Structure 1
C-alpha cells in the first residue's frame, strides 16, 4: 500500500508575470473509499511545496521552452516527458502553454492545486492509481492540463521509463509519457468537467515493462521509503479559454506579485551566472553565527545607511526566513534623496554594462543575458518623472546582486593567479589565500553557497605578511628552540557578509562580521 500527501495552502491569489496561482484553504482529513481492485489508503495533509519560487520557476521553464524557430526545443520536450517523434495533443498543448507564458503575450495561465492526492496500488494487475481531489472552481469547466512537477530532474533506475496514463478525465483517455533522467515534469491533457461540483479524478498508471514498476512507484511517491514526497500536482488553465473574469487577476493588480516575480527572476539569474563551485561542507545555518542587529530596509531607511550599502563591496546573500509567508511578502519601497538616487542609477548602469561583458567573457550563455535584460526592465527608472519607491527598491537589490557576482569572478580570477604562482617551483607553496566554498541552507534564494576563503601554505623565511611577534618567534625557533609553535598561515583581515532577509513584515539587512577571509599572514 502506498500513500501520497495532500498539498494545500491558504486562500489567496498570486499573479506572477501574467500568471496567476489560485490557492485554496485546507480541507479536513478524509479517506478515499477503496475500489474492488485497490487497497484503501488514507490521505495525509502536507504544506504546499515550499521550494523558493517553485511555481514561478515552472513558468520560466515554459517561457524559455520555445526556440528561435517558434517550436519547442528538444530539451523542453524531454523535460516534460513528451516522447520523441510523437505528434500528440500534449505536444501541441505544451507549445501553446509555452507561448502563453511569454511576457509579450496578453494571455495568462491560471493554476489550481488539488486539495488531495492519493496513490494506491492495484492488487490484481500491479497497476498504480492516482486519485486527485479537486476544489470547487469555475476553472474546472475548462480544458485543464495536469502537471506533475518535481523540484529536480527525476532519477530513473534501469534506464528510461515508458509510462501509460488512462482515465475518463483525460483527453485522449490514454496518454503515454517517456521519462528519462532529464525529465522534471509529467504533463497530461485533461477534459473539461460537465458540472461545477466537487469531484475526484481517478487515473490509472502502468509501465510497458512490468519490471520497471518499482521505478514508477519511486517516481510517484518521491522516494523508495515514501517519506519524502517531492511531487507537486498542478492544474493549468489557459486565460483565453473563457476564464471567468471575476476569478481572474492580472499581473498588474498586485504590487507584491510583481515584486515576487522580480525576486524569483533574480534567484534564477544568480543561479545562472555565479561561479559553480562544489561546497566543501554540509549545509550551514547562518542564523547560528554572530551578527549585528538587523537594519530595516524601507521608506524609513536613512541615506547614510543606504549610501554605505550601495558603496559596500561585501558579498550579499538573499534569504527568505519564512518561505511559507513568501506569497504575503511585504511590498518593498525606498525613498532615496535625489543625489543618492542618481548615484544608484549611475552605479546600476555601470554594473549592468560590466555584467554583460562578464557574461560574454565567461560564456555563461544567452539565457543569463536575457534574464539580466528582464531584471533591468523590472527595476528601470522612469526617464522624466521621479522613480517610484518600488523601482528604487528593486534597483538597489539588483545592484547588490550584480556587485556580488562581479566580486565572485574577480576573486576567482585572483585565486587562479595565486594558485598558478604557488605551483611555480621557485615560489613554493607559500602562505596565501585559497578558495573555500561552504553550502548554505536551501531556503536561501541566492546564492546557496558562500566563498569564505581560507589561508594555506608554509610560513618559512621570508615570512609572508608577518607581524613582529611572528618574526621574533621564527628567529627564536631558528636558534634551536624547537619546542615552540612555529608561525602559522592564518587570516589576518576579514570582510563582512550582508544577508538581505525577506518576510511578511518587510525587508531587513543583517551584517555578519568577520565572515570572509581577505588577507593572509604568518602569525
Structure 2
C-alpha cells in the first residue's frame, strides 16, 4: 500500500466565474528536507519534487485546453476522454460526470480570469519498513476548500506497461474509495473530493493500492518514475466548480496570457513538421541586431515595416516563468495603420482557414484559430485598447509565418513532381533548404533558408563582371582557376519575437534566408 499526504497550508489560487483551482507546485525558496516536514515514521528514503509547473507559463491554461477538448461536438465526452483521464467506465462514474461538467465550463472562447497561488514546499518521502510513499504539500488556507474539489493528477510522462487498476481511499474523497484505470494513453487521473469542514489547514491522507501485490512496484514506478527515480512524476491540481466570483482587476492579464498560450498551442498544431533529423542550430551562433521593444513606445514607422515585412517570424516562448502572468503587451497604432492592421488580419485569417481545410490540419486547429480571433477582436463601439491591438498584431505576424510555411511546403511538393523545363533544371538558381533551429528558439523549430545550386557555365546567370571575365578566361585558355560558383547574392532577415515576463522584444537576425542567386 502507498500513501499520499496532501497538506493544506498556503498557495496561490486559480479562480474563475464558475471554475476555480488551487495549483499545487513548489515555490522558490530553500530546498525542502525531511526536517522541514518532520514525520512520526522512520523514513527510508525521501526526495523533493523538482518539477515546477511555474516555469511553464501555460501549465494551467493547457489543463483547461485539455478539459475543453474532452467534449465532442455533441456536447458529450469525446472518444478517448475516459481513458485519457483514467476513468474506468462512464456508467455510474462520479469522475465521469465531474469531467463532463468541468469540460463544458471551459468550452467557451473566453477563458475565465485566473490567479495562481504557490505552496511553500513539496516533499515526497518513503517511510516505514514497507516503503510507504508519503507526498506532502504545504499550502495556505483558502475559502475555496469549503467547496467540493476535483483532484487532477497529471503525469509528467506517459505511463508504461499494461492496464493497472488503482484504488484511492480517503475520508477526504467522496466517495471515500475511488478506482482509476491507468492505460498507456492515460495522461491524467481525476478524483472527486469533499468540501472542507472547520479548520482549513486540512490534511488529506490518501491510501493508494492495487488489486494485486505484484502490481505494487508498477504503481511505485508510475508515481516516482521507477526505482531510480528522484522526482515526483505526477503534478496535482485542485479544481473547484461553483459560483465564486471573479477578480476583474486581472482580466487584462488573464486574456493576454490565455491568448499567448493559445497561440503557442495553435502554432504547435498547425505548422508543418519536418520529419528529417539534423543537428540543432545554437541560438547564440546567429548574429543579431540590437533588440527592439514592442510596446507603447513603438513608432508607426517600425510597426508599419513589421506589418509589411516578408521575413520569417519565429516566436520564442522559451524564457517564460511564473512572473509571465503579469505580462501586459500593449501597442498604439495610428488610426490609419490600425485600419490596415484590421484589413490584413481579416484577409490572413481567411487565408489560413482555407489552408487548414485544404491541408487537412484538423478541427482542433480551426477551433484554436477561432479562439485566437475572439481573444484578439477589436470592440465594435469602443476604441481598441492597447492590449487588443497588441494581440491582433502578434496574431497577424503568426499567421503570416504559417502562410509562408505552407507556401514553402507546396513549392517542395511541386519540385518533387519534376521541373517544368528539364533543360533549365541545372542552371544556377534557388532551391529549398530546411534546417533545424535550437528548440529553445521557439516556433517554428525549423526554417527554410534556401540555398543556391546549379551551373555557372556561359551564359553566366546573374553574374557580375568578375564572374563573366573569369568564366571566359577559364573556357578560352583552360587554366587551373576556380570557376564561378552559384551562391546567394541577396538575403532576407529572420525575425524572432521573444515573449517573456519582462515584455515583448523583436530580435532581427540579418542575412538568414537566401532569396536570390548569382554566379560569383
TM-score (normalizing by structure 1): 0.83
The corresponding residue for 2:58 is 53
Shift of 1:34: 4.5
Count of matched residue pairs: 510
Distance 2:227 2:512 in 1: 39
Partner residue of 2:237 out of 234, 247, 253: 234
Higher RCO (C-alpha 8 Å, min separation 6): 2
The corresponding residue for 1:202 is 205
- 2:189 matches 1:186: yes
Distance 1:426 1:166 in 2: 76
- 2:305 matches 1:302: no
Equivalent pair of 1:170/1:189 in contact (CA under 8 Å): yes
Distance 2:485 2:209 in 1: 63
Distance 1:276 1:14 in 2: 34
Shift of 1:317: 1.9
- 2:321 matches 1:324: yes
Distance 1:300 1:273 in 2: 32
- 2:367 matches 1:363: no
Distance 1:86 1:438 in 2: 48
Q: 1:16 to 1:319 in 2, by over 3 A?
A: farther
Equivalent pair of 1:146/1:233 in contact (CA under 8 Å): yes
Equivalent pair of 2:110/2:371 in contact (CA under 8 Å): no
The corresponding residue for 2:387 is 390
Query: What does 1:146-165 correspond to in 2, within 5 Å?
Result: 146-150=151-155, 154-156=158-160, 158-165=161-168
- 2:288 matches 1:291: yes
The corresponding residue for 1:176 is 179
The corresponding residue for 1:434 is 432
Distance 1:17 1:423 in 2: 60
Q: 1:103 to 1:88 in 2, by over 3 A?
A: same
The corresponding residue for 1:378 is 375
Alpha-carbon RMSD = 3.9
Q: 1:7 to 1:205 in 2, by over 3 A?
A: closer
Equivalent pair of 1:3/1:43 in contact (CA under 8 Å): no
Shift of 1:342: 0.8
Partner residue of 1:219 out of 196, 219, 222: 222
* 2:439 alignment partner, SS class: coil
List runs of 5+ in structure 2 lacking aligned partners: none
- 2:506 matches 1:509: yes
Distance 1:11 1:231 in 2: 18
Deviations 1:4-30 (A, max 9, x none): 9x999x976666897656579667635
- 2:39 matches 1:41: no
TM-score (normalizing by structure 2): 0.84
Partner residue of 1:95 out of 59, 77, 100: 100
Shift of 1:90: 0.9
Distance 1:417 1:17 in 2: 51
Distance 2:441 2:20 in 1: 23
Shift of 1:91: 0.9
Equivalent pair of 1:319/1:443 in contact (CA under 8 Å): yes
The corresponding residue for 2:77 is 72
The corresponding residue for 1:339 is 336
Distance 1:202 1:393 in 2: 47
- 2:77 matches 1:81: no
Equivalent pair of 1:279/1:438 in contact (CA under 8 Å): no
Equivalent pair of 1:145/1:187 in contact (CA under 8 Å): yes
The corresponding residue for 2:496 is 499
Q: Which one is further off, 257-266 or 122-131?
A: 122-131
List runs of 5+ in structure 1 lacking aligned partners: none
Shift of 1:493: 3.1
Distance 1:392 1:340 in 2: 11
The corresponding residue for 1:249 is 247
* 1:235 alignment partner, SS class: strand
Shift of 1:110: 7.8
Distance 1:407 1:141 in 2: 52
Distance 1:437 1:150 in 2: 32
- 2:448 matches 1:452: yes
Distance 1:515 1:17 in 2: 47
Q: 1:342 to 1:109 in 2, by over 3 A?
A: closer
Q: Which one is further off, 371-380 or 79-88?
A: 79-88
Distance 2:22 2:201 in 1: 16
Equivalent pair of 2:148/2:193 in contact (CA under 8 Å): yes
